[in-house]
Structure 1
């Protein structure tokens, strides 16, 4: 397991590949000729409902399910259940010439249940990486999923069906590469909620709920466009899908190159550009005619990039000291799934309205306005930091004696359920324990972990030397107000309020 540490990130890659294959590649046409669209939609509807319910339950009972997801047997069972569900759908589609039968629906439900476990577990894995690393790995996963799509679309039917069926199992098996760290995950200290200021807790809870509302709205809009302009002809649909996936591969690869050059990635700054791209896409798409292949390809590109960003954003939000990764990914992906399902259902009814081009354009403008209003009024850029930090102390501060910590209440695994072979040895220190003397973070690592910009790093280095705002302004040749603004931003990103709290949070750093 330790010889390939990056293999665990393939969990998300195989899961994304599976989604792209079963909903875009022509596999259902191999089993039920003329019923491919019907099978795909039926499978999507039932599996999404099951996925959303199970993901929400995992989040609701996160204290128990965090332990459950860290067990080898559970994750293997989730993969087997998902792949078994796919095989049941194959039999149902072939035997009954469509997806309207109990066997097909049962298989879809089973697939949704299994993939919910896999997805939330993948989220736990990605949270352990730095934000910029998570962006790079997610973009690479999009590239890989696109390549898998082209392989399935171009190979013989038997192999295509086999690959599609066993992609969820492959995703679950990739989680096994993360179990060398299972002990440190179970031993990780977590902050007691009683220590949190009620107003701070309320502010973050409110921000997180508003975030889920916006996730639903954005996903609804994206899938409304996708459903409204879906192509009914199988060959045309495959051609537009292939074009869209090709663009996704190119853009994702460009993102990999850019993110590999960055030391940090500020998701708050990227929030508004994403909304702007989605707004422009909605306007352009609703200005096109229904059945336009170029519009369908553009929708595919925007949807995949939107999904990529939302996964990265969930990874970033899950670094909060209050919200656990299971909560963030469970609720986040559940709401994402429901928004996509409702949007797709409404979108498929859109062509039946028989609207003219000018009327469709007006609807596009209204939807674009709603997107802008939601991003400006419901969930703003500043709310990203409210959820992640919310004035709760950074992970490294958990080791400080001034703050009480407790064990997360996770039971120790038995050897057959996920404990590493050398479990009798000292477990590898977690990030929180690294600040208590087991391993001292460098100031550069601390700055990268908290997404400080290049200018903020310069201010941060001077703050570590005890400089005040006036002294920092003179050293960097900036105004006192600008220096104070940088200091406030650093406080927000590191989760502190005062200079004393900042000193405590950074006292363990190597300088």
Structure 2
């Protein structure tokens, strides 16, 4: 009988796992990610773009033009989307973009690889393809970001790793194809991604995928961010702290490190081995970021990325030539896959906090990514020219890169401003409840002492629920101050009466404000099991049996 119950539980667990993948359209971001890797990062789509031909025939200047133009167009388009959000609204509000953007991206793909005999025709086709690439992919990155910002944190932590692994599998599949078959397959990827996005967004419209972890404070912050998107852009950039610099620098070094090895032939087994290793690497990084206490943050990104990239540059010095360059290429591709995985969840969390709209979060985020790629292209052209002239060697380039990478990492890890919402909110509520602010600071210090520095909010202080109001709206802060004060006082009174510990009081505070256990997990950067255990203790000490009874007791 016991054995039968165990089998039943295993079957239920298996069924739940299968249901998480349904509907599979939610994994459509994988097609967009695989398109980028096939076209720009691995050349799996069909050999070289016009840049390769131009570099061999017309020199490095044309290589810079061909390589940098698509990236530049993407930056321009993303900047335009972010700046004009107040006037145009978010891209997801325009139904036509759900099919125009994918079609534009798909049409651009063969244009980037078309190399006629006439060089002028090659340039013209490549320019047209670059413009369409910037237009179509720019909108698609932001629209997928809007979707990720609307689902729950648990769903985002499931969809992003699953999609990234699927993208790597798709790239591996394309790398086994030849000629026009590979190019045709890659051309279909944006169309598939657009179809999945349109179908997934319908779920959001019907209310099937709205983030349950959002409380009333987050909803008001979102509304204010959307209502004042243009005026709030400087505030968004300021609140990012060094995050933008960190993302840009990471992409620069990844681009540089992965450019010294050139595959001996199309569909090289060595390149396919790198993609397989990338899948394993992504799984390790993804599990480390989402299992147990949440570590979806830029400091966490650098804590594994810096050592990996240093190893890649060291391989250039130790092994040199083909072996060292291949090892560096492998590290760069694996790091880039894992980087896209972490940043997709990172941008979603940033948008959910309410300081930025999803368009601002993902738009600015991918601008920094593309700017890093662009600067990496410039650095590579400079390095190639210097090495060809004998000004410096590959070993010297690797050594200098390692030193700059370490300095950049220390600069990023010292950032305490990313996601820094608590300070302004505390100031707004100081007049209403100075004691509550002090208690919040003390509780945060106790949390840090018990659990170490926070990884879940980019090294910044965790936002206390009593301090969630945005200081950019003084009227809203004043109107909510007295309510927050009364509620906080009631929570403190009940916590003292029930003999709750400081951590249990924090959990009680969140639950009393209507938060769910997954929200508690993310806000306090603890595992779901720990959050559930604290909730049970709170219920037992206060004599209630559910979150609703707890809310009724407080109110």
Q: TM-score, normalised by structure 2?
A: 0.65
**Matched residue, 2:345:** 312
| Conserved? CA contact 1:240–1:294, under 8 Å | no
TM-aligned CA deviation for residue 363 of structure 1 = 0.9
**Matched residue, 1:270:** 300
Cα distance change of structure 1 residues 171 and 388 upon mapping to structure 2, 3 Å threshold: farther
Deviations 1:154-181 (A, max 9, x none): 1242321111112112111111121232
Deviations 1:52-100 (A, max 9, x none): 111112122233444432333212001111111223334x424547984
| Conserved? CA contact 2:101–2:136, under 8 Å | yes
**Matched residue, 2:43:** 25
2:404 corresponds to 1:367: yes
TM-aligned CA deviation for residue 284 of structure 1 = 2.0
**Matched residue, 1:457:** 531
1:56 pairs with one of 63, 74, 79: 79
> RCO higher in 1 or 2 (8 Å CA, sep ≥ 6)?
1
2:214 corresponds to 1:214: no
1:356 pairs with one of 393, 397, 403: 393
Q: Secondary structure at the match of 1:235?
A: coil
| Conserved? CA contact 2:142–2:362, under 8 Å | yes
Task: State how far apart, in whole Å, the 2-side matches of 1:125 and 1:195 are.
Answer: 19
TM-aligned CA deviation for residue 138 of structure 1 = 1.8
Q: TM-score, normalised by structure 1?
A: 0.70
Deviations 1:181-234 (A, max 9, x none): 23768xx753447999xxx9998752315321222222222222223x242x54
2:462 corresponds to 1:444: no
Q: Secondary structure at the match of 2:151?
A: coil
2:208 corresponds to 1:175: no
5+ residue gaps, structure 2: 1-18, 57-61, 211-218, 419-453, 482-512
CA-based RMSD: 4.6
Task: State how far apart, in whole Å, the 2-side matches of 1:467 and 1:63 are.
Answer: 49
**Matched residue, 2:94:** 71
Cα distance change of structure 1 residues 256 and 325 upon mapping to structure 2, 3 Å threshold: same
How many residue pairs are counted as aligned between the two chains? Answer: 431
Answer with 71-80 or 61-70: which moved more: 61-70
**Matched residue, 2:265:** 235
**Matched residue, 2:53:** 35
Deviations 1:377-436 (A, max 9, x none): 4567866265995986289xx9999649xxxxxxxxxxxxxxxxxxxxxxxxxxxxxxxx
| Conserved? CA contact 1:247–1:301, under 8 Å | yes
**Matched residue, 1:484:** none
Correspondence list, 1:35-434, <5 A:
35=53, 44-90=67-113, 92-94=114-116, 96=118, 100-177=122-199, 178-182=201-205, 190-192=222-224, 205-227=237-259, 229-231=260-262, 234-235=264-265, 238-254=268-284, 262=292, 264-267=294-297, 270-278=300-308, 280-281=310-311, 283-287=313-317, 288-291=319-322, 292-354=325-387, 355-356=392-393, 359-378=396-415, 384=458, 386=460, 389=463, 393=468, 403=480
TM-aligned CA deviation for residue 137 of structure 1 = 1.9
Deviations 1:427-484 (A, max 9, x none): xxxxxxxxxxxxx95642331353531497379648967999xxxxxxxxxxxxxxxx
Task: State how far apart, in whole Å, the 2-side matches of 1:329 and 1:213 are.
Answer: 15
Q: Secondary structure at the match of 2:348?
A: helix
